[in-house]
Copies of this chain bind each other. A is one copy, B any other.
Amino acid sequence: MLRQKKWIWVVPHGFQILSPSVTRLFCFCSSINNRPLVTVAICVHRAPGMANLLGLLKVKVIRGVKLVVRDSVASDPYLIVRHNNHKLKTRVVKKNVNPEWNEELTLSIVDAKEKIKIEVFDWDKFSFDDPMGVATIDIQPFVEAIKNLTAAAKAGGDLPPNNTIIRTILPCRDNDLADSSRIYFSNGKFLQDIVLRLRSVESGEVEIQLMWVDIP
């Protein structure tokens, strides 16, 4: 009887699994009580700069509002989040220009200066997907506010009281905000609510919530 272990992706802190092409698979064969045992291990590479991992950023993609019509009467929108060579995707919501995604995508943040890029596409079965607008999110104010407050707390200070608004970012010509965006502390979490006005498209907004996960 062959007892095969399940895949276990144990990745030490500061490492990340890269693309399959640079990831190596190893199999170890042994036996216990005369029964063969196959152990599978995966080799991960140390990612550049991962030693400087600042934390994890959960990007909750809530909904799209008044997105553009790309098919005959509607669109089949999905959203891509890009940051630091990572690309994460929501599911496709069929025939809906006001899609409710409510999906949480997680990014490793090593450089807060690098903006997050948001792209919305219309999924097409028989042709290339059509662009439905782009936007960027500057995460630097969010990460800096959190780092300052957590550093103060580690030095013996208190974290802010529940539901404290830490900072408000206003829409301006240099960002893609459609509305004032609040960075706040609620139920032990640092959050930022964001409404983006999509560029390079006739209409469309995207509602997003950022949540910070500190790495101990």
Contact = CB atoms under 8 A, between A and B. Distances in A.
A199 B203 contact: yes
A125 interface: no
22 contacts: A170-B170, A170-B171, A170-B180, A171-B171, A171-B172, A171-B177, A171-B178, A171-B179, A172-B178, A172-B179, A172-B180, A173-B178, A173-B179, A173-B195, A173-B205, A197-B197, A199-B202, A199-B203, A200-B202, A200-B203, A201-B202, A202-B202
Give chain A's interface residue range (CB within 8 Å of chain B). Answer: 10 to 19
A175 to B, nearest CB: 10
A170 B169 CA distance: 11
Nearest to A201: B202
A208 to B, nearest CB: 14
Q: Is the interface of A mostly helix, strand, loop or mixed?
A: loop
Closest 10 CB pairs of A and B: A171-B171, A173-B179, A172-B179, A173-B178, A200-B202, A170-B170, A201-B202, A173-B195, A170-B180, A200-B203
Interface string A157-198: 000000000000011110001111000000000000001010
Interface of A: 170-173, 177-180, 195, 197, 199-203, 205
A202 B82 CA distance: 21
Contacts of A180: 170, 172
Contacts of A205: 173
